Amino acid sequence: MDHFLYRDGELFAEDVRIADVAAAVGTPFYLYSTATLTRHYQLFDEALSGMDHMVCYAMKAASNQAILRTLAELGAGMDVVSGGEYARAKAAGVPGDKIVFSGVGKTRAEIRQALEGGIRQFNVESEPELRILSEVAAALGKTAPITVRVNPDVDAKTHEKIATGKSENKFGIPIAKAREVYAEAAALPGIEVIGIDVHIGSQLTDLAPYELAYQKVAELTEQLRADGHTIKRLDLGGGLGIPYTRSNEAPPLPSDYGALIKRTVGHLGCEIEIEPGRLIAGNAGILVSRVIYVKQGEGRQFLILDGAMNDLIRPAMYDAYHDIVPVVEPEAGIEYQPYDIVGPVCESGDTFAKNRMMPPLKDGALVAFRSAGAYGAVMASEYNTRPLVPEVLAKGDQFAVIRHRPDFDEIINRDTIPPWL
């Protein structure tokens, strides 16, 4: 459920008229709903109630500081994958001991930054990383709390570009090698083993792969404890899918997921951590765009929008489906017609949808891409020197710009001309 609903014939974000935001900010823009972000965070928090737990929001999904602060105020921790994300989380007011550092390629500088600023744990993904972490921590006179990310070789049954738990993926350490790696970790200076980490992919719409992966983690917990390691925290990753269409089957609920966690690892007495991103932010955000032209092509009609692939890359990159709805509610009984919905960028890949049935739309009409809150603004670029899309946050009947649209000078003044030119 989200808070983008039609009321009095037009789309609202909570109690904010989307047309009012468009008038104030211009298009395109991302618009998030505080109530939806809050609700989604709380679904996870409640799903794990009764267990010692922390929901560490995977901020790669949507990392605006206003979003981070909204979630942090509810008690969320953060899952970060770069020094930039770490700095952003700190700037948003998240304390270091609520920040988890994931990712296959942490640099020495990033490790140092997190050790100095405070960290809940590093999720270590390889032996070379483990050794560098030990070296950097020992040199700073610090101890790095770690889990090792294990790769359980489970098929997450999702898009191949976002599956991470199969042995051919670059992520984690093969689970069969885990005991060896934990033995090495325990012997290294500056390292404190505290648990195990696993993450098998994103947009999972079936709980079965989680069940398999978590059972393997439970077995490994017992083995590692028998080997003498302290395993007190399990980071079970993120990945729970969201509905992108309103007609398709509903993906599993966080409450079902929570029950699965209790069933598979609840008996181990570990603190449970999860790292959801998409389910918290995805349906809490929309991208609003305006129709520039309706163009009659050969046997098809194009809806040319002012939003483009650089603003929302998911359709071009993953063939992702996003629901696109008019901001003015279609009249009952109106005949829908097929449109190819495209942006102004100079490549054919700049296509959001083909043959999409829509009510008749005219130049100037506003449309909203639903489910665009996760992996939307964060994956935007300035391709074609199109300014990064602004972000706006709604709360009740208020809205605020949380990232402004840069003007052309701001963009082009980042370039510097070398002295020989």
Contact between 134 and 112 (Cβ < 8 Å): no
Interface with ligand LLP in residues 310-329 (CB under 6 A):
314, 318
| Strand partners of residue 356 | 339
Q: Who's near 417: CB < 8 A, 6+ residues apart? A: none
Binding positions for ligand LLP, 73-92, rule CB under 6 A? 79
Burial class (CB in 10 A: 0-12, 13-18, 19+), 8: exposed
Q: Which residues are annotated as a binding site?
A: 239, 275-278, 314, 318, 347, 375
278 binds ligand LLP (CB under 6 A): yes
- In the complex with ligand LLP, which residue's Cβ is closer, 18 or 163? 163
**Residue holding tokens 């003007």?**
407
Q: Is 303 in the site for ligand LLP (CB under 6 A)?
A: no
Which residues are annotated as part of the binding site for substrate?
Answer: 278, 314, 318, 347, 375
**Residue 190 or 258 having the CB closest to ligand LLP:** 258
* d(C-alpha 385, C-alpha 382), whole Å: 5
Closest to ligand LLP by CB, 83 or 239: 239
Site track for ligand LLP across 121-140, x = CB under 6 A: --------------------
Nearest distance, CB of residue 293 and ligand LLP, angstroms: 28
The verdict on 277 binding ligand LLP (CB under 6 A) reads yes
- Between 69 and 314, name the residue whose CB sits nearer to ligand LLP: 314
Instruction: Check binding of 172 to ligand LLP (CB under 6 A).
Output: no
In the complex, what is the shortest distance from the CB of residue 416 to ligand LLP, in angstroms, rounded to a whole number? 31
Q: Which of 259, 261, 251, 254 is nearest to 276 (CA)?
A: 254
> In terms of Cα–Cα distance, which of 77, 65, 34, 108 is closest to 281?
34
Closest to ligand LLP by CB, 202 vs 221, is 202
- What is the three-class DSSP state of 65? helix
Provide the pairing of β-strand 351-358 with 53-58.
Answer: unpaired
Active-site residue (options: 187, 332, 346, 421): 346
Nearest approach, Cβ of residue 227 and ligand LLP (Å): 25
Helix (H) or strand (E) holding 345: none
What is the Cα–Cα distance from 417 to 346, expressed in whole angstroms? 26
Q: Which of 28, 276, 285, 390 binds ligand LLP (CB under 6 A)?
A: 276
Minimum CB–partner distance for residue 322 and ligand LLP (Å): 11
**58 near ligand LLP, rule: CB under 6 A:** yes
Find the helix or strand (DSSP H, E) in which 333 lies.
none
Between 182 and 375, name the residue whose CB sits nearer to ligand LLP: 375
Whether 56 is catalytic = no
User: For residue 334, what are the CA distances in angstroms to 5, 196, 246, 307, 331?
Assistant: 19, 55, 19, 26, 6
Stretch that binds ligand LLP, among 112-120, 177-185, 275-283, 285-293 (CB under 6 A): 275-283
Site for ligand LLP in 197-256 (CB under 6 A): 199, 202-203, 237-240
Instruction: Using alpha carbons, select from 24, 12, 40 the residue that is nearest to residue 400.
Output: 24
Q: Which two tokens stand for residue 254?
A: 């966080």
# of chain residues touching ligand LLP (CB under 6 A): 21
32: left (phi over 0), alpha (psi -120 to 50) or beta: beta
Distance (Å, rounded) from C-alpha 205 to C-alpha 216? 20
DSSP 291: E
Task: Return the active site residues.
Answer: 346
Q: Which residues bind ligand LLP (CB under 6 A)?
A: 58, 61, 79, 102, 162, 199, 202-203, 237-240, 275-279, 314, 318, 374-375
